Structure 1
Amino acid sequence: MRFSYYTTVFAILLLTSCSTSISTVRKEYKLAEVSKLKSDWNSDSKEWFLKKDTLIGNGNLQHWGVILSKKQLSKNYEIDFKANLTKGSLFEIMLNSDKENYIRTYLYQIDQNIVIGKGVYDKNSDEYGKRGGKSLFTKPMKLENNKWYTIKIKVQNNQLLFSVNNQTSLECSLEKSNLSQKGKLGFITNGEVKITDLSIKTL
């Protein structure tokens, strides 16, 4: 009986550690340790770092600060966190980042919108046209610096839901909008952003 128990526990740990996904059905991913930031994400430590329980990103208009997970998102997933754009005008969540293409879900302070779009990111270039991309869906929302926003993203059965403060939301079909259906998670800022309570789970 005891042997069977330990065998089951070992198998679960092995599956979790070998998983190519940032979260699994059995485990909700949370970011709370510096070691996890280094082992699970690709970033420049000058641009993105963990201070206590807060992930802080820095960028500017010429060079956006980017952090990208090393593992894939699951096909169906939910991402929850709180974000505060303390400086700058753009905070972007990169979804299903695959090679240079990704889904843009972002808060854009200049236009006072939340947005879903089709993006491109070339890590070797800051040239115009090699980062960001076309907006597909927008919804007006009052956005301010130094204010916390609760963000929820849900992708299930190729449907994307992007919600801010449980009040303003956008939805679309990944297939109908010709958006990436697999890839990694990332964050982009052209100023300074703070992120807390990040959790990613497989649905």
Structure 2
Amino acid sequence: MKIKYIALLIFPLIITSCCGTISNAKKEYNISKATTLKSEWKSNPKEWFLEKDTLRGTGGPMHWAVIQSKKKLPKNYEIDFKVNMTRESLFEVMLNIDKENYIRTYLYQIDQNIVIGRGVYNKNSDEYGKRGGPTLFKKTMKLENNKWYSVKIKVSNNQLFFSVDNETFLECSLEKSNLSQQGKLGFLTNGEAKIIDLTIKNIE
């Protein structure tokens, strides 16, 4: 009887640890240690690294710095964090990465917009046409370097919600816009970006 009871306690822990998604229903996911970053994310350690509680990426206009999770995002999820673009003009959240395709949700200083787009990223090439992609939806927002922005992204029932500072909002249907409906998570910068207070959680 005791063995059965112990087995019932251990089984959910095994399921959780072997889960193929970046978060599960019972907890929020965040990056708190350099060892977590190394074991659960794919990146060049010279381009993305953890400094205390800050995830920092450094790239350039000709070579975008990308970090990608090894596990998939849940079907329905919510992502919250704060970002500071300390250099250059582009910071991008790469959603539902499926092979080379993904959803672009980004802050773009040159056009002063937040954007949802269809993206492609080839990790072996910096050629034009093998990274980035077309804009589908955009909204004007004043963006500048060395300022913290609160970003919230939610995907629920194939509907994507993207907001910055709870002031500027974009929304679209993944199905109607022919966007990837499931995949991994990534971050991209063409300069330097800092991320704090990152949480990813599964939602019902």
Query: Which TM-score band applies after superposition, normalised by the shorter structure?
Result: over 0.9
Alpha-carbon separation, structure 1, partners of 2:145 and 2:46: 22
Listed one character per residue, the Cα deviations across residues 99-145 of structure 1 (whole Å, up to 9, x for unaligned) are: 00000000000000000000000000000000000000000000010
Alpha-carbon separation, structure 1, partners of 2:182 and 2:30: 21
Distance 1:4 1:145, change over 3 A: farther
Letter in 1 for 2:195: I
- Per-residue deviation, 1:182: 0.8
Alpha-carbon separation, structure 2, partners of 1:195 and 1:2: 46
Structure 2 residue aligned with 1:13: 13
Alpha-carbon separation, structure 2, partners of 1:9 and 1:30: 24
- Per-residue deviation, 1:18: 0.5
- Where structure 2 has 5 or more consecutive residues not aligned to the other structure, the ranges are none
TM-score under structure 2 length normalisation: 0.97
Partner-residue secondary structure (3-state), 1:37: helix
- CA RMSD in angstroms comes to 1.1
1:188 aligns with 2:163: no
Structure 2 residue aligned with 1:74: 74
TM-score under structure 1 length normalisation: 0.97
Listed one character per residue, the Cα deviations across residues 140-163 of structure 1 (whole Å, up to 9, x for unaligned) are: 000010000000000000000001
Structure 2 residue aligned with 1:179: 179
Alpha-carbon separation, structure 1, partners of 2:85 and 2:7: 46
Partner-residue secondary structure (3-state), 1:55: strand
Alpha-carbon separation, structure 2, partners of 1:5 and 1:115: 51
Q: How many residues align?
A: 203
Structure 2 residue aligned with 1:134: 134
Partner-residue secondary structure (3-state), 1:30: coil
- Per-residue deviation, 1:12: 2.1
Alpha-carbon separation, structure 2, partners of 1:173 and 1:3: 48
**Structure 1 vs Structure 2: percent identity of aligned residues?**
68
Alpha-carbon separation, structure 2, partners of 1:191 and 1:8: 49
Alpha-carbon separation, structure 1, partners of 2:63 and 2:113: 22
Distance 1:11 1:106, change over 3 A: same
Structure 2 residue aligned with 1:28: 28
- Per-residue deviation, 1:176: 0.2
Structure 2 residue aligned with 1:108: 108
Partner-residue secondary structure (3-state), 1:24: coil
Partner-residue secondary structure (3-state), 2:179: coil
Map residues 45-194 of structure 1 onto 2, 5 A cutoff: 45-194=45-194
- Per-residue deviation, 1:5: 5.6
Partner-residue secondary structure (3-state), 2:143: coil
Alpha-carbon separation, structure 2, partners of 1:6 and 1:193: 46
- Where structure 1 has 5 or more consecutive residues not aligned to the other structure, the ranges are none
- Per-residue deviation, 1:7: 3.0
Partner-residue secondary structure (3-state), 2:199: strand
Alpha-carbon separation, structure 1, partners of 2:173 and 2:30: 27
